[in-house]
Amino acid sequence: MTGDHSQVPDGLRARIDRLDPERPVLIAGPTASGKSAFALAIAERQGGIVVNADAIQVFSDWRVLTARPDTAEEARAPHALYGHIPGDQAYSVGHWLREVAPLLQGGPRPIIVGGTGLYFTALTEGLADIPPTPPEVRAQGQDLLRQEGLQAMIAALDGATQSRIDLQNPARVARAWEVLQATGRQIAAWQDDTPPPLLPLDRAQPFVLDAPKDWLTPRIDQRFDKMVETGALDEARRNAPTWHPGLPSAKAIGAQELIRYVQGEVTLEYACERATILTRQFAKRQRTWFRARMSAWDTLTPWELI
C-alpha cells in the first residue's frame, strides 16, 4: 500500500528505505514513544499490515484511552488484532500467538508493534505450553498472598524459577506459584520444554524504541490530557454501567480513575493526575523489560525518526 509521503521526515524515510520489504518488522517501545507512527509510516511507504502487540489494545471497549489507532489511521494501511475482543473476555499471550500465526504464513508483510514485552518474547523465543490454572488454585494463591505475603510464595519456587522472574512483581510470582501447585512442576522446567518460536529473531527486523524518561514524561502528560479531550470521558460514561475492576479490559491505565470520576467519586483533576502517574510508572516497567530482554534488538531513539 502506498500513500502521500510528503509529510514523512527525512530521517524516518531513510530508516524505512533501508528495511527489507519482505521480512517482518517488530517494533517495541514504551507507551507514548511514537512506535505506532513508525509502524504506520513503514506500512504506507513499503506496504504491509500493522499488527497489534499490546495486551490492552485488543479490547473493544477502550479505544481512545488505550491509544488504539483511530479510524483515519486505520484507513491509511491495513491493521489487525485491534479492538476485536470484548472487554469481558479473557485474552492471553497464547490467544495472541494463535491469532498472529496465520499472518506470518502469507499475505502482506506483518509490521508487529506494541508495548507488551511478553508478546514479543513469546513470538521470538517461544511460549511454554503450560496448562490453564484451575480457579481453586488461583483462589488458594490469593489467600496465601493476603495472609502470609509475597515471600511465602517465593519460598516455594526453585532457584531457576526465581532467577527468571521479577520477584518484585506479585503477578509474576503468583503465576509461578500457581503453575507449581497446578502441575507439580516449576515454571522454569516448563519453560525449558518450550517449543520453537513462531518467528525467530533472525528472521525479522526488530526495533526497540529507547525513550528516556525526561523526553517521555511530558509526552505522557500531554497525551492523557488529549485523551480526555477527545473521547476518553465518553468511553468511561459508556462503560460505567457494566464496569467491574475484575474485567480483563479493566487493566487499561486510567480506566478506573475515569470511571470513579463519572460516578462522582473523585474530581477530574484527581483522576487525570492519578492516571498520569500510573502511566509513568508503567512506562518505567516497560523500559526495564525492554532493556533486560531485548538487548539483541536494534535500538532507536525517537529523534532518529524525525
Q: Give residue-wise pLDDT tens across range 127-156.
A: 888 888 899 999 999 999 999 999 999 999
150 assigned to some structural domain: yes
CB neighbours of 51 closer than 8 A, spacing ≥ 6? 79, 80, 81, 100, 103, 110, 111, 112, 113
Mean pLDDT, residues 31-55 taken together: 96
Query: Using CA atoms, how far apart are residues 201 and 53, in angstroms rounded to an integer?
Result: 16
* CATH for 239: 1.10.287.890
User: Who contacts 60 (Cβ-Cβ below 8 Å, separation ≥6)?
Assistant: 83, 84, 85, 86, 87
267 and 120 in a single domain? The answer is no
Cell 499472518 locates to 103
> Is 5 inside a domain boundary?
no
pLDDT at 25 over 80: yes
257 and 269 in a single domain? The answer is yes
Cell of 278: 500510573
219 and 205 in a single domain? The answer is no
Which set of grid coordinates corresponds to residue 225?
A: 490530557
Alpha-carbon distance of 102 to 104, in angstroms, equals 5
Q: Note the pLDDT tens digit of each residue in 85-137.
A: 999 999 999 999 999 999 999 899 999 999 999 999 999 999 888 888 899 99
Residue 3 pLDDT class (50, 70, 90 cuts):
very low
77 and 32 within one domain: yes
Q: How many CB atoms lie within 10 A of CB 125?
A: 16
C-beta of residue 153 within 8 angstroms of C-beta of residue 175:
no
What is the rounded distance in angstroms from the CA atom of residue 92 to the CA atom of residue 186? 20
User: Is residue 273 domain-shared with residue 164, that is, in the same domain?
Assistant: no
Mean predicted confidence (pLDDT) in 213-218:
94
Does residue 250 carry a pLDDT above 70? yes
In a domain, 3, yes or no: no
Shared domain for 122 and 269, answered yes or no, is no
Mean pLDDT over residues 68-76, rounded? 96
pLDDT at residue 4 is higher than 50: no
pLDDT band of 5, cuts 50, 70, 90: very low
**Enclosing domain of residue 248:** 213-287
CATH number for 68: 3.40.50.300
Question: By the 8 A CB rule, do 272 and 225 touch?
Answer: yes
Long-range (24+ apart) CB contacts under 8 A made by 268-273 are 268/228, 272/224, 272/225, 272/228
Say if 61 falls within a structural domain: yes
pLDDT bin (cut points 50, 70, 90) of residue 8 is: low
**Residue 85: inside a domain, yes or no?**
yes
The CA-CA-CA angle for residues 282, 285, 286, to 5°, reads 90
Residue whose C-alpha is closest to residue 250's, from 70, 33, 66, 97: 66
pLDDT, tens digit, 9 for 90 and up, residues 157-195: 999 999 989 898 888 899 999 999 999 999 999 988 888
* Cβ neighbours for 166, distance < 8 A, ≥ 6 positions apart: 172
Is the pLDDT at 6 greater than 70? The verdict is no
Confirm whether 2 is domain-assigned: no
* DSSP structural state of residue 131: P
- 247 with 266, same domain: the answer is yes
Supply the pLDDT for residue 2.
Answer: 37
Give the alpha-carbon dihedral of 178, 181, 184, 185, to 10 degrees: 30
Q: In total, how many domains does the chain have?
A: 3
Q: Is residue 293 part of a domain?
A: yes
- 3 state SS of 110: strand
Mean of per-residue pLDDT scores for the chain: 93
Q: Is residue 240 part of a domain?
A: yes
For residues 14 and 121, membership in a common domain is answered with yes
**304 or 238, higher pLDDT:** 238
Same domain, 293 and 269: no
Domain at 168, CATH number? 1.10.20.140
> Are residues 77 and 206 both part of a single domain?
yes
Q: What is the mean pLDDT of residues 227-234?
A: 96
Same-domain check for residues 95 and 207 = yes
Q: Residues 179, 238: one domain?
A: no
